[in-house]
Structure 1
Amino acid sequence: MAEVKNILLVGVGGQGTILASKILSAGLVGAGYDVKMSEVHGMAQRGGSVTTQVRYGSEVFSPIIGKGQADILVCFEAMEGLRLLDHLKLNGKVVVNDYKIPSIPILTGKRDYPEDVIEKIKEKASTMTIDAAGIAEDLGDAKTMNVVLLGALVKAMGLDEIDWEDVIRKTVKEKFIDINIKAFNKGIKAIK
């Protein structure tokens, strides 16, 4: 088994960040890793921030990823990724969804959505951009955006050896298995 790896997934309530983390954790446990996962739901039901932290390796003692410790940051929403960029290691990677969800202050006109969010992330870290929302919509189910991002994460982390289709079959509701497997595979192919 390898050293402990740290994955930080960030997004907005309703994007499926937690489901993606549960699928990821189930796959890693099935592959024999010790896995710890934690979730933070800040007003998630109302479109607030959601972060999940997944740590895996031969032995993991804590589920918490501190600042400067994440090997990879997966941004389900661009601004949330920029906000938590300080949790990334100096040589860490970012997978960012080219997708914006305006927060309440932006919707009410009190603030503007920051300009060039993805470019600001790219200035600070090795970044792979993916249009997960567009891919999910092309598949006919916008809700699979989270599993598209999971596929991109798996590719970026080199976790291809795990039977993710089997993990998806065991984790999602039966009627959503096929579309989620398609979404996952599209996410893998979207990362070069």
Structure 2
Amino acid sequence: MTKNVLLVGVGGQGTILVSKLLTTGLVKAGYDVKMSEIHGMSQRGGSVSTHVRYGEYVYSPVIEEGEADLLISFEKMEAIRWLKFLNPEGHLIVNNYKIEPLPVLIGKGIYPEKEIDEELKRLSATVINAFDKANEIGNMKVMNVILLGTVVKMMNLEYIDWEEIIRSNVKEKFIDVNINAFNEGIKLIEKREGDVYAL
């Protein structure tokens, strides 16, 4: 049976790196994996999505609407924007972080934070404060790897050697901080009673 993981965010948040790390781990675990990147207006802070599909045999890299078993959003508004792709039985993980789009920045729009928060609560989403944890670590660029740790824990994939995967895919001077961020992401889920979602 094929499982579908959709990662979404805003250009520059590192969603594609996390998708590549996740894909590498799933391949090492023996799954057939297909990954598809959709960059959109990523250079201008637009939406970025990555589709990761894995199982015994995977024939298409694209997740259709209503098929995502797990939707991971690196930014709050993107969670709502991509919600139609989530399987009714699927689960939503959201980084409690907002990036104001251009219309908001130039005063021609309002970021609907209250409405977004209410919708996430209604959906029983798992909300992760990766920003706060990255700030605690001292490097805001590792928010994405914190989220990778939460995803790995939620999917019960800790048996894969993620430390080696991180070592092989990030620059040497950033290895230790990224491994630390990954482990902190796992801890964020371990503290949540009954919140683990196994695919």
Q: TM-score range by the shorter chain?
A: over 0.9
Deviations 1:74-110 (A, max 9, x none): 0100000111011011111111000000001111111
Could you list the runs of 5+ residues in structure 1 that have no partner in the other structure? none
Percent of counterpart pairs with the same letter? 59
Letter in 1 for 2:36: S
Residues in 2 aligned to 1:159 and 1:115: alpha-carbon distance in whole angstroms: 32
Match in the other structure for 1:11: 9
Instruction: Name the SS of the counterpart of 1:29 in structure 2.
Output: helix
Residues in 1 aligned to 2:117 and 2:168: alpha-carbon distance in whole angstroms: 34
Instruction: Name the SS of the counterpart of 1:32 in structure 2.
Output: coil
Q: TM-score if structure 1 supplies the norm length?
A: 0.95
In the alignment, is the contact (CA less than 8 A) between 1:98 and 1:118 conserved in 2? Answer: no
Given the alignment, which residue of 135, 151, 154 partners 2:152?
A: 154
Letter in 2 for 1:134: D
Match in the other structure for 1:169: 167
Shift of 1:137: 1.3
Shift of 1:42: 1.3
Could you list the runs of 5+ residues in structure 2 that have no partner in the other structure? 193-199
Q: Which moved more, 1:15-24 or 1:115-124?
A: 115-124
Residues in 2 aligned to 1:82 and 1:121: alpha-carbon distance in whole angstroms: 8
Match in the other structure for 1:106: 104
Letter in 2 for 1:133: F
Match in the other structure for 1:138: 136
Instruction: Name the SS of the counterpart of 1:178 in structure 2.
Output: helix
In the alignment, is the contact (CA less than 8 A) between 1:168 and 1:177 conserved in 2? Answer: yes
Shift of 1:133: 1.1
Shift of 1:45: 1.1
User: How many residue pairs end up in the alignment?
Assistant: 189
Deviations 1:6-32 (A, max 9, x none): 010110001000000010001111111
Match in the other structure for 1:119: 118
Residues in 2 aligned to 1:69 and 1:87: alpha-carbon distance in whole angstroms: 6
Instruction: Name the SS of the counterpart of 1:175 in structure 2.
Output: helix
